[in-house]
Amino acid sequence: MNARRGEALETLSGVGPQLAKKLSRIGVHRVQDLLFHLPLRYQDRSRLVALGSARAGAQIMVVGQIDLSSVTFGRRRSLLIRISDGTGPLTVRLFHFSAAQRAALRQGRWMQCFGEVRPGPVTLEMVHPEYSVFDDRPPLPDVATLTPIYPTTEGVGQRLLRRLVAQALASPDCLPADWLPDSVRRELGFAALPDALAYVHNPPLDADQTALECGQHRTQQRLAFDELLAHHLALRRLKQRRLTHSAPTIVSSGELLKRLLATLGFTLTAAQQRVIAEVVADLQVPTPTLRLIQGDVGSGKTVVAAAAAVCAIEGGYQVALMAPTELLAEQHLRSFCVWLEPLDVNVVALTGTLRAGARREALAQIANGTVSVVVGTHALFQAGVEFKRLGLIIVDEQHRFGVDQRLALRDKGRTVSMSPHQITMTATPIPRSLAMTFYADLDVSSIDELPPGRQVVETVVLPETRRADILHRVSEACRAGHQAYWVCPLIDESDVLEVQAATDTSIALVEAFPNLQVGLVHGRLSAVQKDTTMQQFRDGDIDVLVATTVIEVGVDVTNASLMIIENAERLGLAQLHQLRGRVGRGSTHSCCVLMYRAPLSSHARRRLAVMRDTNDGFEIARHDLEQRGPGEVLGTRQTGLQQLRIADLVRDRALLPRIEAAATEMLARHPQRVEWLIARWISDSENYGNV
């Protein structure tokens, strides 16, 4: 490899420490970064437009002689330069200018400008166009390519970036080596990497400008493929390295699992049984398991986690279950106690709100091994928590935890020679193509069927002007012996967001329903207050529970058949689907009302339409990906891997099926190229792939 590709920018002519510092603000740290800093769009500067033909809104190249130049003092000080070419005038307006610029822009000289034409008080105007000044009329533009427009920053202009990119492209020493195997490149019809970069930075005048600006030109797809492949290879390599580590071989007779299943009172679905079998097999392998269990809301992930736990416990190990909120941790604790305590399995809670005495007792039981299952929040990985024999970690809603938190919990069970097995669970299903690419270090299991008897929830979308009708619907449901949720996004009133606060809604509902019991739960209540209110709702002592989105996961009240969500247009698809999953858990027909405040944006309208039209979590995940993008859906800000710089998982999803095959070929035939390709696109990802 040529060293200059990775060298500092100062190796380029005209780049000193100050300019290098400015370039670093846009992610350009090395010569190679400059070449992969791609244009946002392109302009055709090959044709001159006569000033008399200029039209407002057009981006054009013009030439004119300066008729006058003067500084004006209106609301803002500006330099006005009037130019003409015999067909008409144009005013160039500069708000930021130096004395040298003013001196150069004197009457009689010629200006060549490129910019957007705008209406002005006297003539059409260009405000801060790109321009050059000449003593004589300049020749016609000698341009053979479209002009790139780059993402930039203060102190780094377009001309400077173009000059630096041209310098790097012109030097063979600066061009990056092509690590993609020729066989893969030819099969996909991709250009060689240096050729693709040269094209993207300087496309010919007849290039498909629409495809280029959408990122769908084949040369851009070549670069996106490299980046996606690098991320996939990084995860595959990390999985290979993880499999060189040791983990406890956990073998159980299955007797405790049989006893658990016999006491549940319901039969597991075929999907649940399949996933349990996969987990049992994982635990018996002497390398650390890292399995993602994904399943729709209500698919029964918790019981699968309990089954995995009893297998680890029968094998002589402790289990830690970590949840992102205290409410969800309390729900898991309640379920595990009901299922496991009849089997003589000790379960303890460890949350941040535990009193000092109870915490000391819990820590002692965890350390001496008298407790087999520890359920908690982030408190599980805090200092002072020591396990005697931690063999299995279960992380629920894993995308909500930062990487450092998950690493810290894993390290609680790590010894000099052993790492615990780990299962992560999510109720946000991930499209298979994304799982292949961005969870390539995990084994993925899907609970892809709901338990029998689960009701399909009817979803209705109504404007807030129908509030009276909605109140009537709540009254009727409660009169029939059922309960209702009323969800508000915020706790307190907000003039900015204009949302109905939960506290105010609670007061209003008490007045609207004098014969019903109305409760309130939100994140600022203490754990005891929340637990008391939730228990009253479970027991049927509360008819209508007003809540913030704190109840989106972990709340299971089978008698609740109605969900009202205020300002539903402000919530994402995944969150709306989670909230809707709180109802439909019994045998009664259930309904979710999405109440919105008009006018709706086009995005909000599409979100609410998706919720109305489908209950399928995997279909909702697909729409969520298209609307929000992969960074939010996958939580890639917390995976430890950098954000994608060029590729877009939605736009480039057609490339994903070929990524896995290309990675397999590179790992088998070109292992050294794998290292180089990963180094080009990704840094500091080594440790995070082990979480």
Instruction: Give me the pLDDT at residue 492, please.
Output: 55
Distance CA 563, CA 574 (A): 16
Tokens of 465: 């002007």
Tell me the CATH number of domain 255-447, given options 3.90.550.10, 3.40.640.10, 3.40.50.620, 3.40.50.300: 3.40.50.300
Report which of residues 431 and 255 the model is more confident about: 255
The 290-295 sheet, strands edge to edge: 347-350, 373-376, 318-322, 390-396, 421-426, 290-295, 443-447
**Position 360 pLDDT exceeds 80:** yes
Q: Where are the alpha helices (DSSP H) in 15-61?
A: 17-24, 31-35
Query: Does the pLDDT value for residue 688 go beyond 50?
Result: no
Judged against a pLDDT cut of 60, whether residue 396 lies above it is answered with: yes
- The encoded tokens of residue 342 equal 């009849």
d(CA 548, CA 552): 8
Query: Would you call 82 helix, strand, or coil by DSSP?
Result: strand
Query: What is the per-residue pLDDT for 641?
Result: 41
Q: What is the pLDDT of residues 115-162, one digit of tens each?
A: 999 999 999 999 999 999 999 999 888 888 999 999 999 889 899 999
Spatial contact of 298 and 454, defined as CB atoms under 8 Å apart: yes
More confident position, 652 or 306 = 306
> What pLDDT, on the 0 to 100 scale, is given for residue 402?
45
Residue identified by tokens 């995005």 is 603
pLDDT above 70 covers what percent of the chain? 89
Beta-strand pair 318-322/443-447: unpaired
What average pLDDT score do residues 278-294 get?
Answer: 92
Residue 401 has pLDDT above 60, yes or no: no
Residue-wise pLDDT tens digits, 623-642:
877 776 555 444 444 343 44
Identity of residue 478: C
Q: What is the DSSP string of 414-429?
A: --SS---EEEEEESS-
Q: Which among 475, 456, 410, 401 has a CA at the least distance from the CA of 590?
A: 456
Residues in the chain: 691
Cis peptide before 139 (omega within 30 of 0): no
Start and end residues for every CATH 2.40.50.140 domain found in the chain: 47-142
The confidence score (pLDDT) of residue 5 equals: 53
Q: Is the pLDDT of residue 398 over 80?
A: no
The fraction of the chain above a pLDDT of 90, given in percent, is 55
Q: CATH code for 47-142?
A: 2.40.50.140
| pLDDT greater than 70 at residue 435 | no
pLDDT in tens, 24-62: 999 899 999 999 999 999 988 888 999 999 999 999 999
Q: Whose CA is closest to 329, among 269, 372, 377? A: 377
Report residue 19: phi and psi, to 5°.
Answer: -65, -40
| Confidence bin at 552 (pLDDT 50/70/90) | low
- Predicted local confidence at residue 201, as pLDDT: 97
pLDDT at 639: 42
Second CATH level (architecture) for the domain 458-614 = 3-Layer(aba) Sandwich (3.40)
DSSP 547: E
161, 440, 470, 596, 626 from 465: Cα distances, Å: 54, 48, 10, 9, 30
pLDDT classification of 412: cutoffs 50, 70, 90: low
Contact 214, 245 (CB under 8 A): no
pLDDT digits (tens, 9 = 90+) for 217-249: 999 999 999 999 998 898 888 788 888 889 999
- Two structure tokens written together for 101: 């610029």
**In which residue ranges of the chain is CATH 3.40.50.300 found?**
255-447, 458-614
Q: What is the pLDDT of residue 554?
A: 56
Residue where the block lists tokens 């009701």: 455
Cβ–Cβ under 8 Å, residues 315 and 345: no
Give 273's contacts (C-beta < 8 A, 6+ positions apart): none
Say yes or no to pLDDT of 404 above 60: no
Q: What mean pLDDT do residues 75-100 have?
A: 94
For residues 382, 387, 393, 394, the Cα torsion angle rounded to the nearest 10 degrees is -70
Compute the mean pLDDT over every residue in the chain, rounded to the nearest whole number.
86
Terminal CA-to-CA distance of the chain, rounded, Å? Answer: 32
Whole-angstrom CA distances from 212 to 75, 199, 228 are 40, 10, 19
Cβ 266 vs Cβ 397: under 8 Å: no
pLDDT at 562 over 90: yes
pLDDT, one tens digit per residue, over 247-281 is 999 999 999 999 999 998 888 999 999 999 999 99
Residue 330 contacts residue 353 (beta carbons within 8 Å) = no
Q: Does residue 260 or residue 412 have the better pLDDT?
A: 260
* Predicted confidence (pLDDT) at residue 535 exceeds the cutoff of 90: no
Give CA–CA dist 532/441, Å, rounded: 41
Q: What is the pLDDT of residue 650?
A: 75
pLDDT confidence of residue 651: 84
Question: Max Cα separation, the chain?
Answer: 97
